[in-house]
């Protein structure tokens, strides 16, 4: 029997104002200096203010760095590590979406280290935690606050690469819905569908196991039942809070299982065409699940049983179809583009996409169906050719 492992942050807090738990950490560990990592959008929206006030009131010397780019490249990370230099830090506190959280996790293993991010891209196993990290997500999506992954663009290859090492798991995750209150609907949509991808892919992955199934099924249930409500009504904080928990569960599922072909095929769309991660996944989600369906009917049916027990009378085949239809409906209701026409991707790019997507073996090897080059080509063609419109330049 395979050995499974559950890996979670040392402490996880959730609930309104749970960010106040920072006070306990400061007191218990005599924290004197903090580096706060965020991005300009979050800083501008005033989302970091309560954390800064808390740190100030606790007498912590805080330096704030907000030069994180959305969908960062490894060069962006190097730039930030250089900017931070030898600034004093007992802790890193990150307030942001997946971009900020991934960068902060990388800083936590790079600050003062003898190796570089280029070394980590080659040999992720050498990463060692240099500074502890507290992660506070502001999007309900990536689950990065739970995962051992950090994803960076590698422009030379036109692809994104996930650096994976348990040392990247944060020490503390704080799931406080107050931090997702101002998340714009467009970003909420992309991030929440990404979280649903994490749950569904992990549940149907070759690496799925008892631990990941527990978190993936519960995460999928929370997301299926709150995502449309959260998008339709920006004031529905309860739905956002449920998505925040669901996306955290998706992150936990990733560390124990792994995502599959949706994420694999989306990496070149993010790396070369800079399509936001959640949008690229959403465009591919239904198509990949349809191709995978013959090999994952039972898993999709079990997910249907977990999330929609009222559909118990359906056959396994019908339950699998029900889940795929739900996915398609969610992407439509959340007004995410259904194809690549608005992102400058053309038919002439097909060979690059197929080549680059087929090369993401770390994730494709998790896919229950061993996708052929023809199937991968058909998946990309189906999202290239569809002319259903949608928002441009998301």
Ligand X SMILES: NC(=O)c1ccc[n+]([C@@H]2O[C@H](COP(=O)([O-])OP(=O)(O)OC[C@H]3O[C@@H](n4cnc5c(N)ncnc54)[C@H](O)[C@@H]3O)[C@@H](O)[C@H]2O)c1
Q: By CB under 6 A, name the binding residues for ligand X.
A: 39, 41-42, 45, 47, 70-71, 96-100, 102, 138-139, 141-144, 147, 149-151, 160, 180, 182-184, 187, 190-191, 194, 254, 277-278
β-bridge partners, 73: 153
In terms of CB distance, is 71 or 321 closer to Zn ion?
Answer: 71
Residue 191 vs 288, nearer CB to ligand X: 191
CA distance 367 to 113: 35
Residue 286: name its binding partner from ligand X, Zn ion, none (Cβ under 5 to 8 Å by kind).
none
The burial of 290, by beta-carbon neighbours within 10 Å (0-12 exposed, 13-18 middle, 19 or more buried), is given as: middle
Q: What is the DSSP annotation of 212-254?
A: HHHHHHHHHHHHHHHHHHHHH-TT-HHHHHHHHHHHHHHHHHH
In degrees and rounded to multiples of 5, residue 371 shows phi and psi of: -65, 135
Question: What's the closest the beta carbon of residue 372 comes to ligand X, in angstroms?
Answer: 26
Give 20 or 70: the residue with its C-beta nearer to Zn ion.
70
Distance (Å, whole) CA 263 – CA 335: 20
Nearer to ligand X, 141 or 158 (CB): 141
Cβ-based nearer residue to ligand X, 135 or 327:
135
Contact yes or no for 62/55 (Cβ under 8 A): yes
In the β-sheet with 172-175, what is the strand arrangement from edge to edge?
11-14, 172-175, 132-137, 91-96, 33-37, 61-65
Distance in angstroms (rounded) separating the CA atoms of residues 195 and 52: 28
Query: Smallest distance from the beta carbon of 186 to ligand X, in angstroms?
Result: 9
> Residues 264-303 vs Zn ion: string with x where CB under 5 A?
----------------------------------------
Phi then psi for 46, rounded to 5 degrees? 75, 15
Query: Least Å distance between CB 33 and ligand X?
Result: 25
Say whether residue 194 binds Zn ion (CB under 5 A). yes
Nearer to Zn ion, 73 or 130 (CB): 73
Q: Which is nearer to ligand X, 204 or 259 (CB)?
A: 259
Binding mask 50-79 for Zn ion (x = CB under 5 A): ------------------------------
99 binds, among ligand X, Zn ion, none (CB under 5 to 8 A by kind): ligand X
Minimum distance of Zn ion from residue 369's CB (angstroms): 20
Part in contact with Zn ion (CB under 5 A); list of ranges 26-34, 87-95, 193-201, 384-392: 193-201
The interface partner of residue 183, options being ligand X, Zn ion, none and the CB cut-off 5 to 8 Å by kind, is ligand X
Report CA-CA distances (Å) from 260 to 103, 175, 197, 221: 23, 26, 9, 19
Report the nearest approach of ligand X to the CB of residue 36 (Å): 15
Task: Kindly state the greatest CA–CA separation across the chain.
Answer: 62
In angstroms, give the least distance from the CB of 368 to ligand X: 21
Hey, how many other C-beta atoms are within 10 angstroms of the C-beta on 338?
Answer: 19
- The two beta strands, 172-175 and 159-164, are unpaired
- In the complex with ligand X, which residue's Cβ is closer, 42 or 113? 42
Residue 138 binding: pick among ligand X, Zn ion, none (C-beta 5-8 Å cut-off by kind):
ligand X
**Which one of ligand X, Zn ion, none is in contact with 180 (Cβ closer than 5 to 8 A by kind)?**
ligand X
The residues near 285 (Cβ < 8 Å, ≥ 6 apart) are 193, 196, 197, 200, 262, 327, 331
Cβ 73 to Zn ion, closest distance in Å? 17
Neighbours of 130 (CB within 10 A): 16
Which residues are near Zn ion by CB under 5 A?
Answer: 194
């Amino acid at each position: 029997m395979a050995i499974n492992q559950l890996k979670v942050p040392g402490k996880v807090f959730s609930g309104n104002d749970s960010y106040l738990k920072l006070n306990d950490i400061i007191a218990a560990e005599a924290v004197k200096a903090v580096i706060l990592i965020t991005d300009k959008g979050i800083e501008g929206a005033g989302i970091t203010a309560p954390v800064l006030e808390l740190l100030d009131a606790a007498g912590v010397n805080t330096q704030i760095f907000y030069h994180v780019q959305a969908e960062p490249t490894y060069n962006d990370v190097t730039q930030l590590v250089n900017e931070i230099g030898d600034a004093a830090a007992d802790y890193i506190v990150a307030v942001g979406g997946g971009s900020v959280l991934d960068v902060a996790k990388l800083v936590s293993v790079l600050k003062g280290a003898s190796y570089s991010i280029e070394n980590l891209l080659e040999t992720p196993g050498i990463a060692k935690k240099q500074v502890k990290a507290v992660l506070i997500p502001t999007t309900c999506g990536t689950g990065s606050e739970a995962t051992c992954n950090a994803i960076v663009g590698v422009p030379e290859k036109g692809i994104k690469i996930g650096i994976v090492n348990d040392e990247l798991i944060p020490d503390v995750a704080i799931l406080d819905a107050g931090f997702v209150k101002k998340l714009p609907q467009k970003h909420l949509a992309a991030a929440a569908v990404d979280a649903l991808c994490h749950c569904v892919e992990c549940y149907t992955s070759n690496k799925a196991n008892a631990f990941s199934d527990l978190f993936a099924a519960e995460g999928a249930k929370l997301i299926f039942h709150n995502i449309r409500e959260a998008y339709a009504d920006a004031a529905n904080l309860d739905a956002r809070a449920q998505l925040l928990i669901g996306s955290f569960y998706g992150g936990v599922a990733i560390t124990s299982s792994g995502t599959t072909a949706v994420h694999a095929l989306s990496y070149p769309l993010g790396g070369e065409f800079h399509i936001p991660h959640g949008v690229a996944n959403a465009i591919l989600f239904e198509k990949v699940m349809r191709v995978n369906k013959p090999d994952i009917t039972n898993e999709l049916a079990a997910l249907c049983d977990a999330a929609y027990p009222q559909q118990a009378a359906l056959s396994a085949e019908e339950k699998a179809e029900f889940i795929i239809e739900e996915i398609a409906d969610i992407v439509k209701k959340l007004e995410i583009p259904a194809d690549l026409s608005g992102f400058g991707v053309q038919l002439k790019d097909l060979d690059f996409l197929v080549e680059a997507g087929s090369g993401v073996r770390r994730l494709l090897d998790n896919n229950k169906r061993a996708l052929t080059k023809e199937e991968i080509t058909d998946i990309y063609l189906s999202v290239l050719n569809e002319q259903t419109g949608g928002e441009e330049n998301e």
